[in-house]
């Protein structure tokens, strides 16, 4: 059984920064792909960013390109999301996801990820 635990959420003013972390445990092998999704009240869960184990593929949602950066530390089985220039529309619960199947590129469809964290709230005030 794989557990994902997110941390780093909070309240920040527009223009500020936050760094989210997601630690995976339960298996010795690091997940092949890890991703971040977010869900705002009344909206569908949407893809934010993903990363392969080697880090050679890091797709981003258009809405966060140039502001967010995903990275991972395989030795720590941890994925990070550095969020800069935050906007009120970034307010959501951010979920970490992981999958051990081979993907040449991290999927943007949430249905492709088997493991999920509980989420961490990010609130950006205007």
Residues 6+ apart with CB under 8 A from 25: 2, 3, 5, 77
pLDDT in tens, 59-89: 999 999 999 999 999 999 999 999 999 999 9
Where do we find the tokens 């935050």?
A: 86
How many CB atoms within 10 Å of residue 51?
23
Residue pair 86/18 in contact by the 8 Å Cβ criterion: yes
- Average pLDDT on 103-121 reads 96
pLDDT score of 27:
84
């Amino acid at each position: 059984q794989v557990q994902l635990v997110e941390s780093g959420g909070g309240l920040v003013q527009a223009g500020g920064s936050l760094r989210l972390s997601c630690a995976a445990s339960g298996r010795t092998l690091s997940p092949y792909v890890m991703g971040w999704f977010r869900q705002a009240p009344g909206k569908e869960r949407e893809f934010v960013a993903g990363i392969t184990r080697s880090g050679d593929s890091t797709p981003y949602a258009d809405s966060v390109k140039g502001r967010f950066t995903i990275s991972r530390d395989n030795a720590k089985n941890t994925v990070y999301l550095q969020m800069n220039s935050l906007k009120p529309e970034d307010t959501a619960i951010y979920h970490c996801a992981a999958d051990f199947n081979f993907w040449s590129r991290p999927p943007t469809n949430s249905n492709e990820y088997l493991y999920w964290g509980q989420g961490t709230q990010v609130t950006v005030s205007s």
